[in-house]
Amino acid sequence: YCVKTFTGHSEWIRCVRPSPDGTLLASCSNDHSIRIWSVETRECAVVLRGHEHVVECVVWVSHPNTVLAVTSPNVGGGGGADTNNNHTGMDTQDSLLSTSDQIQNGMPSGTEVISKPLGAALYVASGSRDRTIRLWDVTTGLCLFVLIGHDNWVRQLVFHPQGKLLLSAADDKTVRVWDLKNRRCQKTLDAHSHFVTTLDYNRNAPCVITGSVDQTIRIWDCR
């Protein structure tokens, strides 16, 4: 039987993920937004907006300290969330679009922090039909950076167990491996002959498993 219902999205919900400790839910939707919910109260704590199309997937960062390290302004090759509203630069085609949609109070345009701060540092990554991947600081509502490189819808995301790499699957038939410290696409796999619709990491192997519209499942050695 249903014990709780969460309402707030205005379009289809594409993905729902519990936080590592189970106290929060992250959801993404055709309404272009990501919402963070309190499981206990059923209240929406944060609405994250920035994607320009349907948000297909959302995933919690399992190692927040790793993200803190790679987004610190003092770490070489990285840098924190850009607070210069005039900065719109993109380092390379397969890299980072710095946060350029912030307003004077430091919040991304359209982002709503509905409840009081959530406490400990929390991060999610989202993938969208706008072909981008965004990394979000849930406690502030800030989009820390945007990863650009896919040529079609981003369908699925998974973090490497150590938290330093992010893998993405897309309708451009590829899987991309992203180096979060340098915010670059480290490797592109021509994974399938059709859309790559699903992706996961086998922590025991280690290997990555992909599935596609081409009706095949493939296992990739990650060593």
Instruction: Give residue limits of the domains in the chain.
Output: 13-71+91-192
One-letter amino acid at 151 equals: D
Q: Residue 209's closest CA among 197, 195, 201?
A: 201
Longest Cα–Cα distance of the chain, Å, equals 51
Q: Is the pLDDT of residue 152 over 60?
A: yes
CB atoms within 10 A of CB 183: 24
pTM for this model (two decimals): 0.80
- Cα–Cα distance between 207 and 161 in angstroms, integer? 11
Answer yes or no: are the C-beta atoms of 13 and 28 closer than 8 Å: yes
Residue 205: predicted pLDDT:
78
Q: What does the buried/exposed string (b/e) look like for 62-71 if buried means 16 or more CB atoms within 10 Å of the residue's CB? A: ebbebbebbb
Query: Which pLDDT band holds residue 110 (cuts at 50, 70, 90)?
Result: low
Q: Is the pLDDT of residue 190 over 60?
A: yes
CATH superfamily of 13-71+91-192: YVTN repeat-like/Quinoprotein amine dehydrogenase (2.130.10.10)
Query: Which pLDDT band holds residue 96 (cuts at 50, 70, 90)?
Result: very low
Residue 81: predicted pLDDT:
31
Q: What does the buried/exposed string (b/e) look like for 116-151 if buried means 16 or more CB atoms within 10 Å of the residue's CB? A: eebeeebbbbbbbbbbbbbbbbbbbbbbbbbbbbbe
- Cα–Cα distance between 147 and 131 in angstroms, integer? 9
- Cα–Cα distance between 170 and 213 in angstroms, integer? 11
Query: Which pLDDT band holds residue 121 (cuts at 50, 70, 90)?
Result: confident
Q: Is the pLDDT of residue 56 over 60?
A: yes
CB atoms within 10 A of CB 28: 27
Instruction: Determine what percent of the chain is predicted with pLDDT higher than 70.
Output: 75
